[in-house]
Amino acid sequence: MNKRADLTPMMKPRSVAIIGASRDPHKVGNVILQNYISAGFPGKLYPVNLNSDEVLGLKAYKSVLDIDDSVDLAVIAIPAPAVPGALEQCGKAKVKSAVVVSGGFAEIGETGLQDKIAGIAKKYSIALVGPNCLGVMDMRSKVDTLFLPTKKLSKPKVGFVSFVSQSGAVGSTVLDVIAGEGIGLSKFISYGNAAYIDETDILEYLMGDPETKVIVLYIEGIKRGREFVELARKLGRSKPVIVLKAGRTSAGMAAAQSHTASLAGNYAVQEAIFKQFGFIVANDLSELLYYAKIFASEMRPKGNRVGVITNGGGAGVIAADEIGSSKYLQMADYSAATKKSLRKIMPALVNIKNPLDLAGDADSRRYMDAMNALGSDPEVDMLLVIILYQTPGADPGVTREVVQKKITLSKPLLVVSVGTEYTQRQAKLLEEGGVPVYDSPISAVSSLEALFKYTEFKKRIATG
Amino acid sequence: MSLLDYMQAKKLLDKYKIRSVESKYVGSADDAWRFSAGKKIVLKLLSEKALHKTKAGLVKLGLAEEKEVRSAYDDLTKKGTKLKPYKILAQKMAEDGVEIIIGGNTDKQFGKVLLVGLGGIYVETFKDVQLRLCPITKADAEEMLSELESKDVITYGGRAEQEVVSLLLKVSKLLTDEKKIEQLDLNPVIVHPDSYEAVDIRVLT
């Protein structure tokens, strides 16, 4: 790993200085310090404040140079013009990494000021993230530089998905939804203007991070093309990366000299690179989350054959249509043994075919029998289970059976469930149990498709 | 960027064993008739002043009879008076098949890019194309075809797949090795169930 890409001191700091830690609860620096304290950050906290000796009960320092300890991470939340000075002091104090949350740099045309801080970071080898960013969060080390009031944002549970976002606003929105969907988070990095550390550095770090098994990426542009490509080549082989790239409609290229030039604009090329190296390309924020969910569940299919279980005929047909029209998936044909055993255990009104329509009165027992049969059938690679909780038999018992089955099943399983309050309560229980839940057969099938394609990609590179 | 002379561009393809239709500059109607040797030919007027040859009536297709060849040649020289300097290119008429486009471009950020898609007049309508960064692997080439909506059309339901895959690998090698090439358009390449040939070549350096 190149030196600037080592974000370990930032993600796992033993000591954090918060520059601009104000006593005023409306100031960003105060919110950040408060968040650290309430998250129970186990390391040392050093507020830096020119005007006070004490902030939130902690001894405050006039400068990082006054801190009688080595500082792993400095969070800088002061007005832009004062940032270079503070950063210079960080350099002299041998601070290892810095997050500049302050805005007022390249995003408003102040490129000179931005170049200046990039130069200081380089001079002192400070791993600098920002400026104009939300910063970083590590669910295990309890680092959290996000200046968002915790009561307005759900905290995700600890897991293995790391989320990288150039945009802070998209970042905090997705973070909130990730928490709501029960996706376990490892790290969150919002890198803003990328004056020094950019997407390639961050991805390089996450590639080597054992706490990251899935990477979710929102980017608007790529800074160092060739370096990114070199990294992407390795990264795609090592971990699933789900990417949403904004800027699809960047028109132009109208007066291009050839057909190829007009069809190979920069966005198209970036999308091609993602595909080439096995990244999973999402077209919008919802897809990004759908894919994140299924990949977070860490199950990989052996093949492309989907078995559908449903308690509503119509929903089953929609799912079957969607699978039938997919270029990559197909409806499974159950083995003779499965058909025979299903015929024996299922009531006469259940037709033994795919989709397996358990009928409106299906209860937890029937769901369990169906999942057991398809779960052990070698002709079925993935299970799509539709539960319409509006029917009389579908109750928390069904939810429990699915969560139970998920624990022992070695195939991907997801649930499609559509509805309001009651359904949403059950969906939450399912997701807490590690079962991805989708609100339409279409998003569920497209997620299974993405999972299958990635598995194929991995197989392909494994065989050379 | 400047346009590479057609015959030089063809030579470049030859070097990478990329097949293209037999072609020759002709300086007279006699010349053109001799080239045809009884087979159907195409005459094209090439001039930097005329970017869209077909629209300007500068492409004469399917010339078989001596009379047709001579009158087509004369007509092109007449049109050419306003387009000097120009050359007249004679090509053996390719047999019918599926028209595809294969292209190369240089992305400022990422370098050489390879493109394949349904070609001819359908390029702009359907924009059914796939791109990859060069150099590509065989698996990349196969995936490019798989992701095209028109894969079955282009490969005759898979029969011509290996031909097209090997063509893509050759073009990728050309783009990677020839550092001076900025853009390349093989549009169309005519694909047959067991072969292919590039019919029009544009190379920008």
Quick: pLDDT tens for A13-54.
999 999 999 999 888 899 999 989 988 899 999 999 998 999
- The CATH H-level (homologous superfamily) assignment of domain B98-204 is ATP-grasp fold, B domain (3.30.470.20)
pLDDT for A233 equals: 93
> CA–CA separation, B68 vs A52, rounded Å?
96
ipTM of the complex: 0.81
Domain boundaries, chain A: 1-138, 148-296, 300-462
Domain boundaries, chain B: 22-92, 98-204
Q: Do B109 and A258 touch (CB under 8 A)?
A: no
Q: Which of B115, B129, B204 sits opposite A257 (nearest CB)?
A: B204
| CATH of the domain spanning A148-296 | 3.40.50.261
Which residue out of A260, A262, A276, A460 would a mutagenesis test of the B interface target, given it has the greatest number of B Cβ atoms within 10 Å? A260
Q: Any chain A CB within 8 A of the CB of B37? A: no
Q: Do B133 and A259 touch (CB under 8 A)?
A: no
Q: Any chain A CB within 8 A of the CB of B104? A: yes
Question: What residues contact residue B33 under an 8 Å CB cut-off, 6+ apart?
Answer: B66, B69, B70
Of A217, A306, A233, A339, nearest in space to A276 by CA: A233
Q: Any chain B CB within 8 A of the CB of A257? A: yes
Class of domain A1-138 as given by CATH: alpha beta
Tell me which of 3.30.1490.20, 3.40.50.300, 3.30.565.10, 3.40.50.970 is the CATH number of domain B22-92.
3.30.1490.20
Of A223, A158, A167, nearest in space to A197 by CA: A223
How close is the nearest chain B Cα to the Cα of A49, in Å? 43
Query: Which residues of chain A lie closer than 8 angstroms to B107, CB-CB?
Result: 225, 264, 266, 269
> CA–CA separation, B199 vs B187, rounded Å?
7
> CA–CA separation, A171 vs A288, rounded Å?
12
**Residue A386 predicted with pLDDT over 80:** yes
> CA–CA separation, B53 vs A439, rounded Å?
53
Put simply, the chain A residues between 275 and 294 with a CB less than 8 A from any chain B CB are 275-276
H-state helical runs in A78-140: 83-92, 111-124
How close is the nearest chain B Cα to the Cα of A191, in Å? 21
Chain-wide mean pLDDT for chain B?
93
pLDDT in tens, A417-430: 999 999 999 999 99
pLDDT in tens, A67-111: 999 999 999 999 999 999 999 999 999 999 999 999 999 988 999
Do residues A361 and A367 touch, judged by C-beta distance below 8 A?
no
Q: Do B108 and A260 touch (CB under 8 A)?
A: no
The radius of gyration computed from the CA coordinates of chain A, to the nearest angstrom, equals 25
Q: Any chain A CB within 8 A of the CB of B7? A: no
pLDDT in tens, A216-260: 999 888 889 999 999 999 999 999 999 998 765 544 334 334 555
> CA–CA separation, B188 vs A166, rounded Å?
41
Would you say the CATH fold of A300-462 matches that of A1-138? Answer: yes
Class of domain A300-462 as given by CATH: alpha beta
User: What are the start-end ranges of the E strands in B27-159?
Assistant: 41-46, 59-63, 87-92, 98-107, 111-118, 129-133
| Residue of chain A minimizing CA distance to B149 | A327
Question: What residues contact residue B91 under an 8 Å CB cut-off, 6+ apart?
Answer: B21, B22, B23, B41, B42, B43, B44, B199
How close is the nearest chain B Cα to the Cα of A86, in Å? 34
